[in-house]
Amino acid sequence: MDKNLLTTGEIARQLGCTRDRVEYLLASRAIAPAARAGKNRVFDETVLTRLRNIIIDIERRNGDTL
C-alpha cells in the first residue's frame, strides 16, 4: 500500500477519535476513497486534513474541544 494512503483506522488514530466517527463523517460528507487495498478503502492525506477541519468545526459549534 502507498505510504500516503490511510485506512479509516489509521485516520481515526491520527485524529484521536473512533473509527465509527470517521466512517460516519466519510459517509455523511460523501467522501470517496482514493483506492482500495483488498477489502479496505484507503484515503489520501488530504482527507485527514479535511476531516480534522470538520471535527474542529463541529466541536467549536458545540463548545467542545478536540
User: Tell me: the pLDDT tens digits for 6-30?
Assistant: 999 999 999 999 999 999 999 999 9
DSSP-derived 3-state class of residue 41 = strand
Is pLDDT at 66 greater than 70 in this prediction? no
Q: Domain residues of the chain, as ranges?
A: 5-62
Query: What is the model's pLDDT at position 30?
Result: 96
Average pLDDT, the chain: 92
The cell for 18 is 473512533
**Residue 63 — very low, low, confident or very high, per pLDDT cuts 50/70/90?**
confident
Mean pLDDT along residues 21-46: 95
In whole angstroms, give the CA distance from residue 24 to residue 55.
12
Q: What angle do CA 35, 23, 27 make, to 5 degrees?
A: 80
Q: How many CB atoms lie within 10 A of CB 8?
A: 21
CATH of 5-62, one of 1.10.1660.10, 1.10.760.10, 1.10.10.60, 1.10.3720.10: 1.10.1660.10
- Residues 9/17, Cβ–Cβ less than 8 Å: no
